[in-house]
Amino acid sequence: MYSYLLRSSRTLIYTFMGVVLCFFVWDSLAQQNITGVQSYMITFCTVLLLGYATVYYEHLLHTSPVTVLLKYPLFWINSAVTYYYGLNFFIFIFSTYIFENLKDHEIVVVWIFHNTNNIIKNVLLAVGIYYAGKEE
């Protein structure tokens, strides 16, 4: 899906990969213990994914090969990515606090919200796969 944008910006993608790797090493060695929850890392990657998904939405709106965007599978797949990471963004930011300071029953409530979002994301992915199969 995102490979449509990769063709014109391979250097940018490799740069992002290098930055993510460097951030992971810095975060693991200097900020957060490698055996603990890597909340900075997942937050950083979530911001990158949401940014790239937003750019891809703009790309879809300007170059979509279909007239009804709701029947285009890549729209649904991108929507799944945006939905899941957008709603779970704050869980990822506060995950260290959640695991270290909340009681067990409060953590369960947070993860029920997370898992519900994951189910909805999977439904959106299934709709995208359904429309991808109808294109053939």
The reported pLDDT for the residue numbered 104 is 93
| Cβ neighbours for 28, distance < 8 A, ≥ 6 positions apart | 34, 38, 41
**Residue in 2, 129, 127 with CA at minimum distance from that of residue 59:** 2
The reported pLDDT for the residue numbered 136 is 52
* pTM attached to this predicted model: 0.78
Distance from CA of residue 69 to its chain's centroid? 21
Range of the domain at 130: 3-134
Instruction: Report the number of distinct structural domains present in the chain.
Output: 1
Judge whether residue 135 has pLDDT over 70: no
What confidence tens digit (pLDDT) does each residue in 24-66 have?
888 777 777 777 667 788 888 899 889 889 988 888 888 877 7
